Amino acid sequence: MANEKDKTIDVDKLLKNKLKAVSIADLEKGISKVVSELVGEDYKCSVNDIKYSMFSGADFHVKIELTYNPED
């Protein structure tokens, strides 16, 4: 009898990298929002050097900077 913990890997799901459909601008806005909320200051984010992997992953460079607003 097969062990109940044994699971079949859905290869099609692994090979369809859904991250490619995510807008870079949306990713930057999302990261900026989360960091700004965590820190309590306004931050901006830029994402570049994106390399998508075959198995539903991605490597990229994230730069987060404090947004300078002289009126604050």
pLDDT of residue 62: 96
Classify burial at 43, counting beta carbons within 10 Å of its beta carbon; exposed 0-12, middle 13-18, buried 19 or more.
middle
pLDDT at 4: 57
Q: How confident is the model at residue 39 (pLDDT cuts 50, 70, 90)?
A: very high
27-53 mean pLDDT: 95
Of residues 29 and 72, more confidently modeled = 29
Mean of pLDDT values over 38-49: 95
What are the Cα distances from residue 62, in Å, to 9, 26, 44?
31, 13, 10
- Predicted TM-score (pTM) of the model is 0.71
